[in-house]
Amino acid sequence: MTSKNIILLGPPGAGKGTQAHRLVSRRGMVQLSTGDMLREARESGSEMGRKVAAIMERGELVTDEIVIGLIGEHLDRGAGGGFIFDGFPRTLAQADALEALLARHAMALDCVIEMQVDDAALVRRITGRFSCANCGTVYHDETRPTAVAGTCDICGSHDLRRRADDTEEALKTRLMEYYKKTSPLIGYYYAKGLLRSVDGLAPIDEVTRQIMDILEPVTGNSPAEG
Ligand code: AP5
Ligand code: MG
């Protein structure tokens, strides 16, 4: 399995975190989620965490400077199976900064996977989401419930939480921010020949299969799958 550095690009609720988690366990990749890093900073009560809390709760983007700094710190640690950038970059300035940061570490992006979904599905996904505070596994009230109510399937923790910005009100702002500031990245990466797309409305396993096919396409002379 070759090491790859990829971006998962898509609106709030597209399934970036869900799929990143699977790639971590199946391919030994390292997930770099700026959303998770910012939530950790908020929980720790650091000065930066206090500064971003209200911005995140409203669904607005925090400054480029903050998230670029966070990503820069994590790249130093390296990743055997490659990096998954989840929720970063979100602006053209962040995309330029990522390219420069990767170059400084003698790395490059292999592909950008756009997760295509429509807005109607996102409201349902966001308002039904909860996740395990211990291991980060993402669930949904209807489509991905825990096997035993109140207990994480993976680590057994009972600390299951909902996000403060997972309200219909904040989602409107998050979507607006996405279309205004993040969706231009689709054209940016298309022009660089890096853009690939998956059907984010497909069932979770099917989306994973599509992503795995992009990362390790079936090549050579092997007969068609039977
Ligand atoms: P962030 O944490 O990145 O949130 P987001 O982009 O809004 O995306 P989500 O995490 O909500 O969705 P997801 O795509 O990960 O979906 P998930 O897999 O959980 O950012 C939060 C905030 O931090 C931002 O608003 C901003 O303030 C700040 N921030 C972060 N990064 C920043 C940056 N770079 N610059 C500036 N500010 C930044 O899935 C959602 C639900 O759907 C789950 O319940 C899941 O079970 C379900 N689901 C997933 N896939 C499927 C499927 N295929 N079928 C059915 N259900 C599914
Ligand atoms: Mg996420």
In the block, tokens 């055997």 appear at: 80
pTM of the complete model = 0.93
Catalytic hit among 39, 129, 181, 196: 129
What is the position in ligand 1's atom list of the atom closest to the CA of 60? 27
HSE, side-chain direction, 13 A CA sphere, residue 66:
19
Catalytic hit among 4, 27, 90, 125: 90
Percent of the chain beyond pLDDT 90? 89
What pLDDT sits at residue 217?
78
What is the position in ligand 1's atom list of the atom closest to the CA of 174? 25
- 163 included as an active-site residue: yes
| CA distances (Å), origin 223, targets 80, 111, 220, 226 | 31, 27, 9, 8
Query: How far, in Å, from the CA of 224 to the mean position of ligand 1?
Result: 36
Integer Cα distance of 66 and 8 in angstroms = 20
pLDDT interval class at 78 (50, 70, 90): confident
Q: Whole-number mean pLDDT of the chain? A: 93
Atom 39 of ligand 1: nearest residue by CA position = 15
pLDDT interval class at 219 (50, 70, 90): low
Q: Which residues line ligand 1 (CB under 6 A)?
A: 10, 12-18, 34-35, 38, 55-56, 59-62, 67, 87-88, 90, 94, 125, 128-129, 138-140, 143-144, 165, 174, 202-204, 207
pLDDT interval class at 77 (50, 70, 90): confident
For the segment 144-198, what is each residue's pLDDT rounded down to a tens digit? 999 999 999 999 999 999 999 999 999 999 999 999 999 999 999 999 999 999 9
Helix/strand/coil for 193:
coil
